[in-house]
Amino acid sequence: MILLKKIYLLCILSVSPFALSAQVANEADLIDIARKVFDKHAKPRADTTVQPRLSAVPAAGYSLQTGFAVLLVANGAFYTSKPAETNMSTVLTSLTYSQQKQIIFPVQSNIWTKNNKYNIVTDWRYLKYPSYTYGLGGYTSFYDQYTIDYNAIRLHQTFYRKVATNFYAGIGYNFDYFWNIKEVDPPKGKLTDFEEYGLSNTEQASGITFNVLYDTRRNSINPDNGIYANLIYRPNLTFLGNEFTWRSLVADFRKYVKMPGKGNILAFWSYDWLTLSGQPPYLMLPNTGGDPFSNTGRGYIQGRYRGKNMLYAEGEYRFAISGNDLLGGVVFANLQTFTEEESNRFEVFMPGYGAGIRIKLNKFSKTNIALDYGLGIQGSGGFFVNLGEVF
């Protein structure tokens, strides 16, 4: 499922709800540029955003999954206690209509209670989502592409409790329901992988989640050091409404290393998504770009590869371009692989690589507009747009 941040583009001067650190001298962002355009005598901004700030703006954007899209976006940021003792909480929602006739309506929040004792994470979405599928495993090609259409509701809720410094344990409930599923233009004269796997008009997944989180990052929007590790075990049992019992495990690991020179960061990301037992619904199988932020596999369209198990690794080097921190750049490379349906082995590895620029949106939170061009095998490639870093 696509996430809102994938299609931000024209709302950048209106969305700046975060303020996490003191103003850094001699730095600039897009808000500074806009202020100078409209007022040459504008005074330097101060980092005073400690009260709730709300914004709602129209926007437009682009992604490989949606094509061009228009949306109305609203967000808010606030503290539930003293900023020095508590992380900033955020709420984000939007309504999107895309060139591919997709409707996307997410409601997402990340709420931190006093002294970060509890972290409440919400991810609710409604989708009307015609999109491409290519079949299962790593041997598929672009010639296997065809459209599937469906409606979907996603209700994911997780509650974390601090158990030690930077260490949290959590429990949650995830519900995913797909209906009006249909193949729009399947290849003629042969059975598709979706049909062989088990095509039906509806799919449902209902599971309790058990979560472990370790996070030493000081700024999750744009980390310059630290470690993030998250394990999510999800048993989908029949008594919860599933047709069959199946179990999954997601291991999300990230490490950031500050290199010599201002703004130079070496970042590593591993995202492993495993089916431990049973048979997940086709639309719930691990797939390219299927992570919560739709960011795995730059160089490939969302859903390009799919299988019961996914291993993914990425490295990125981030560096400054301008002395005032307005512009930066990245180079990146990634590798993904999925198990084959018949052998259940990882047989094909799909690399991706590319480069991009970063434009500073908010110098207090270090929020960037990320514009990347990624390439993959079989002529795959395209632009990837994010509000914030990819990981």
Q: How confident is the model at residue 43, as a pLDDT?
A: 72
Q: How confident is the model at residue 323, as a pLDDT?
A: 87
Mean pLDDT of 143-162: 96
Half-sphere exposure of 384 (CA within 13 A, CB side): 30
Q: Is the pLDDT of residue 28 over 50?
A: yes
The string of pLDDT tens digits covering residues 340-352 is 999 999 999 999 9
344: left (phi over 0), alpha (psi -120 to 50) or beta: left
From the number of C-beta atoms within 10 Å of its C-beta (0-12, 13-18, 19+), residue 147 rates as middle
| H or E, element range at 235 | strand 226-236
Q: Is the pLDDT of residue 338 over 50?
A: yes
CA distance 137 to 91: 36
Q: Are 90 and 73 in contact (CB under 8 A)?
A: no
Q: Are 164 and 117 in contact (CB under 8 A)?
A: no
| H or E, element range at 26 | none
Q: Percent of the chain scored above 70 by pLDDT?
A: 90
Q: How many residues does the chain have?
A: 391
The string of pLDDT tens digits covering residues 195-244 is 999 999 999 999 999 999 999 987 778 888 999 999 999 999 999 999 99
The string of pLDDT tens digits covering residues 255-292 is 999 999 888 999 999 999 999 999 999 999 999 999 98
Q: Are 230 and 249 in contact (CB under 8 A)?
A: no
CATH 2.40.160.50 fits 4-387, yes or no: yes
Task: Give Cα separations from 308 to 171, 230, 242, 286 (angstroms).
Answer: 24, 20, 17, 6
| H or E, element range at 19 | none
The string of pLDDT tens digits covering residues 368-383 is 889 999 999 999 999 8
Q: How confident is the model at residue 374, as a pLDDT?
A: 96
Choose among 88, 15, 1, 115: nearest CA to 56.
15
Among 39-43, 110-114, 193-197, 360-364, which range has the highest average pLDDT?
193-197
Q: How confident is the model at residue 199, as a pLDDT?
A: 94
Q: Indicate the pLDDT class of residue 20, thresholds 50, 70 and 90.
A: very low
Domain boundaries, the chain: 4-387
Q: How confident is the model at residue 50, as a pLDDT?
A: 53
Q: Indicate the pLDDT class of residue 88, thresholds 50, 70 and 90.
A: confident
Mean pLDDT of 107-124: 92
Question: Residue 99: which residues within 8 A CB-CB, separation 6 or more?
Answer: 66, 67, 68, 69
The string of pLDDT tens digits covering residues 166-193 is 999 999 999 999 999 999 999 998 899 9
pTM for the full model?
A: 0.88
Choose among 350, 337, 340, 288: nearest CA to 136.
340
In eight-state DSSP terms, residue 303 is T
What's at 134, amino acid-wise? Y
Token code pair at residue 280? 């997940």
252-257 contacts, C-beta under 8 A, 24 or more apart: 252/228, 252/291, 253/227, 253/228, 253/229, 254/223, 254/227, 254/228, 254/229, 254/391, 255/226, 255/227, 255/228, 256/217, 256/223, 256/224, 256/225, 256/226, 256/227, 257/225
Q: How confident is the model at residue 14, as a pLDDT?
A: 39
CA distance 254 to 245: 30
Mean pLDDT of 74-100: 85
Q: Is the pLDDT of residue 8 over 60?
A: no
Q: How confident is the model at residue 54, as a pLDDT?
A: 66
Q: How confident is the model at residue 210, as a pLDDT?
A: 98
Positive or negative, the CA dihedral 378, 383, 384, 389 is positive
Mean pLDDT of 73-82: 81
Q: Percent of the chain scored above 90 by pLDDT?
A: 64
Question: Residue 192: which residues within 8 A CB-CB, separation 6 or more?
Answer: 135, 146, 183, 186, 199
157: left (phi over 0), alpha (psi -120 to 50) or beta: beta
**CA-based Rg of the chain, rounded to a whole angstrom?**
21
Indicate the average pLDDT of the chain: 88
Greater confidence (184 vs 72) lies with 184
Q: How confident is the model at residue 331, as a pLDDT?
A: 98
The string of pLDDT tens digits covering residues 309-328 is 999 999 999 999 998 889 99
Q: Which residues pair with 387 in a beta bridge?
A: 369
Token code pair at residue 327? 């512009």
Q: 């797909």: which residue's tokens?
A: 178
Token code pair at residue 139? 């041997």
